[in-house]
Amino acid sequence: MAVSIHRLDYKSLSEIIFEWRAADRASLLALFMVMEVSLHWLWCLFVWLWQDTYGTYVDMGLLYPMWIGVTLIGLFFWWMVGHLAHIKNDDKYLHQWQIVLITLYSVYIAVVILVMGHSSFVSGVSLVGGAMLGMMLVRRRYIWKAFIGHITVIVLVSLVPYLGIDLPNLRQLTFISIPLDTYSYLTYSETISIENAMATSIFQNGTLNWENLDQLRLSSAFFWRSTHLYLALPKAIFIVYMFRTLLLILDNGKNEILKHANQDELTQLNSRRYGLTQMKQAIMTATDKQDFSVILLDLDLFKGVNDNYGHEVGDQVLREVGQSLSSALTDKAIVSRYGGEEFLIVLPDTKHDSAMVITEQLRQNIAQRVIKVDTELSFQVTASLGLYTLTYVELARIKQGCMTTAHTNNSKSAKLKRSKSQKNKPTTAHNLDMLPIQLPSNICQYLISTADKALYKAKDRGRNQVVSANDLLAEGHMVNATSATNATKSRYGT
């Protein structure tokens, strides 16, 4: 794959990270190195073209060999771009060239930082930013070793001047009146302070105006600071852009994972797990005087649809039923595919009579919907629905039972703490009321199973019907309400 950087956008970077071969990613890293070396080469060209102006700030005798070295390194990296891209499946050969590439680049950057004058900005961008960028594209183990080596070089460069060894440096002093016989990396910080003082003394009252702006432009301090910004800023901006794009990729990946986890791929409704999570959350947030209705819907004779028309048509039926449910219900309703041809509809803050009207309307919508397979084939399906409404009285009773259990446990804990330390304040009734209510973990399953009994009653009565579990309880065809409450208490351990 030919490496190109003219469109390094969100989609392209996603493909690079997740789809490109290791050789192509290494080739792209080499291209990034070519871009950085090109900036250094252009700086050398700039100084050479205006050496009459800036030659007093730069050691021209050292500039020429450095320029040659930058050119050779740039050509080598450019050759690596094509060479790495054409490596097929020889991982050992690729890893060897990755080591060469990373090692040579690390040494090159260390030399550039040393020769062009030490700058914490340039060093930080090269050390941290370069390492993080490299870890995106080549083996992280190699980048980590290069990172450790780079730190070692920085420490050695900082210590060498104390041993009396002068390191090469392009920066030279032009103020001969300052009694400095030698210049080395060790005296760089002191030199900056001196040049700042001298540059300030040029201006009246230490201020800068348009008349003396040109004088500042020609000063050595300003020239080298501009050089360091030139070396670091483009690379810093590029690396920040790359990682911004990488974070967008991660966010998008997270959203995709959540979408697949929370959404049924076929019907685009909530998945079973997410539907149950939303259902329990809705129960937790239900306030006083709010009934809670649950509908379980099952398509009638759906196996015959698959057997007679094929599974693709069966999937079409499920999709169209899902669309019918979504369009008929408000955003307050929680609709999920419960499993197979079953759908779970949760209606928070909905009384039984209103829920019955909604359930009957859903049944009619499905029965009246025509499934068109092609221009000649169409058919209709029906559904059986079971409804159960948990009244606010029953919900309050469950919550009260949970609260009583929590208060009992908390009182025991409070007594134990007070026995250990008399400084603790006694637990008051007001403090107990502020405790969060932990509803039983199986409360959702209890509501669904109750609606499920009504659903199968609708199947027994001939299908394409709505049956209310509340009505069955009142008629005595299921466990009566009082027993159900007691069963709930026993089941919930309250």
For the chain, which residues make up each domain, given as ranges? 10-258, 272-492
**What is the edge-to-edge ordering of all strands in the sheet holding 292-299?**
334-339, 342-348, 292-299, 383-390, 466-468
Q: Pairing mode, if any, of strands 466-468 and 383-390? A: parallel
Q: What is the pLDDT of residue 390?
A: 92
Structure tokens belonging to residue 161 = 């001047």
The pLDDT-based confidence of 490 (bands split at 50, 70, 90) is: very low
How far from 328 is each of 213, 361, 380, CA to CA, in Å? 72, 8, 18
* Helices 60-85 and 91-115, axial angle in degrees (round to 10): 160
Is the model more confident about 199 or about 266?
266
Could you give the CA distance from residue 373 to residue 320 in angstroms, rounded to a whole number? 12
Query: Does 430 have pLDDT greater than 50?
Result: no
- Phi-psi map region of 147: left, alpha, beta (phi>0 left; psi -120 to 50 alpha): alpha
Is the model more confident about 25 or about 74?
74
Question: In angstroms, how far is the first alpha carbon of the chain from the final one?
Answer: 66
Query: Does 78 have pLDDT greater than 90?
Result: yes
Could you give the CA distance from residue 118 to residue 114 in angstroms, rounded to a whole number? 6
Could you give the CA distance from residue 227 to residue 229 in angstroms, rounded to a whole number? 5
Query: Does 294 have pLDDT greater than 70?
Result: yes
Q: Give the homologous superfamily in CATH for domain 272-492.
A: Reverse transcriptase/Diguanylate cyclase domain (3.30.70.270)
Query: Does 211 have pLDDT greater than 50?
Result: yes
Could you give the CA distance from residue 311 to residue 340 in angstroms, rounded to a whole number? 12
Core vs surface per residue 204-242: b (16+ CB within 10 A) or e: eeeeeeeeeeeeeeebbbebbeebbebbbeebbebbeeb
**pLDDT mean over 328-356:** 93
Rounded percentage of the chain residues whose pLDDT exceeds 70: 71
Structure tokens belonging to residue 46 = 């700039």
3-state secondary structure (DSSP) of residue 88? coil
3-state secondary structure (DSSP) of residue 348? strand
Is the model more confident about 186 or about 249?
249
Could you give the CA distance from residue 212 to residue 210 in angstroms, rounded to a whole number? 6
Structure tokens belonging to residue 482 = 């009082």
**pLDDT mean over 431-443:** 54
How far from 374 is each of 305, 370, 371, 377, CA to CA, in Å? 15, 12, 9, 5
**pLDDT tens-place string over residues 454-484:** 999 999 999 999 999 999 998 886 754 334 4
Query: Does 97 have pLDDT greater than 80?
Result: yes
CB 73 within 8 A of CB 26: no
Structure tokens belonging to residue 330 = 């408000």
CA angle 414, 417, 422 (to 5 degrees): 110
Q: What is the pLDDT of residue 286?
A: 82
CB 300 within 8 A of CB 382: yes
From 37, 216, 183, 204, select the one nearest 112 (Cα to Cα).
Answer: 37
How far from 147 is each of 142, 143, 222, 243, CA to CA, in Å? 9, 6, 31, 18
The conformation of residue 270, written as its DSSP 8-state character, comes to B
CA angle 139, 140, 144 (to 5 degrees): 130
**pLDDT mean over 199-203:** 54
| Most confident range, picked from 90-99, 152-161, 323-332 | 323-332
The pLDDT-based confidence of 53 (bands split at 50, 70, 90) is: confident
From 382, 359, 368, select the one nearest 299 (Cα to Cα).
Answer: 382
**pLDDT tens-place string over residues 152-161:** 877 887 787 7
Is the model more confident about 400 or about 83?
83
The pLDDT-based confidence of 486 (bands split at 50, 70, 90) is: very low
**pLDDT mean over 156-168:** 77
Q: What is the pLDDT of residue 361?
A: 95
Could you give the CA distance from residue 445 to residue 338 in angstroms, rounded to a whole number? 12
Length of the chain: 494
| Residue 228, C-beta contacts closer than 8 angstroms, at least 6 positions apart | 116, 117, 119, 121, 122
Q: What is the pLDDT of residue 170?
A: 83
- What CA dihedral angle connects 352, 357, 361 and 367, to 10 degrees? 80
Core vs surface per residue 426-453: b (16+ CB within 10 A) or e: ebeeeebeeeeeebbeebbebbbebbbb
**pLDDT mean over 187-195:** 54
The residue type at 416:
L
Could you give the CA distance from residue 301 to residue 365 in angstroms, rounded to a whole number? 17
3-state secondary structure (DSSP) of residue 338? strand
Could you give the CA distance from residue 168 to residue 180 in angstroms, rounded to a whole number? 17
The pLDDT-based confidence of 186 (bands split at 50, 70, 90) is: very low
Q: What is the pLDDT of residue 412?
A: 56
Q: What is the pLDDT of residue 5?
A: 43
Tell me what the pLDDT averaged over the chain comes to: 77
**pLDDT tens-place string over residues 125-157:** 877 777 877 887 888 888 888 888 878 877 887
| Residue 14, C-beta contacts closer than 8 angstroms, at least 6 positions apart | 249, 252
- Counting other chains too, the contacts that 417-420 makes at CB distance below 8 Å and 24 or more residues apart are none
* Helices 140-159 and 91-115, axial angle in degrees (round to 10): 20
Q: What is the pLDDT of residue 296?
A: 96
Q: What is the pLDDT of residue 335?
A: 95
Q: What is the pLDDT of residue 421?
A: 52
Rounded percentage of the chain residues whose pLDDT exceeds 90: 31
Provide the 10 A C-beta neighbour count for residue 122: 23
The residue type at 85:
A
Could you give the CA distance from residue 236 to residue 240 in angstroms, rounded to a whole number? 6
**pLDDT tens-place string over residues 355-404:** 999 999 999 999 999 999 887 889 999 999 999 999 888 888 877 766 55
**pLDDT mean over 158-175:** 72
Could you give the CA distance from residue 362 to residue 356 in angstroms, rounded to a whole number? 10
| Residue 420, C-beta contacts closer than 8 angstroms, at least 6 positions apart | none
3-state secondary structure (DSSP) of residue 247? helix
Q: What is the pLDDT of residue 13?
A: 54
Query: Does 258 have pLDDT greater than 80?
Result: no
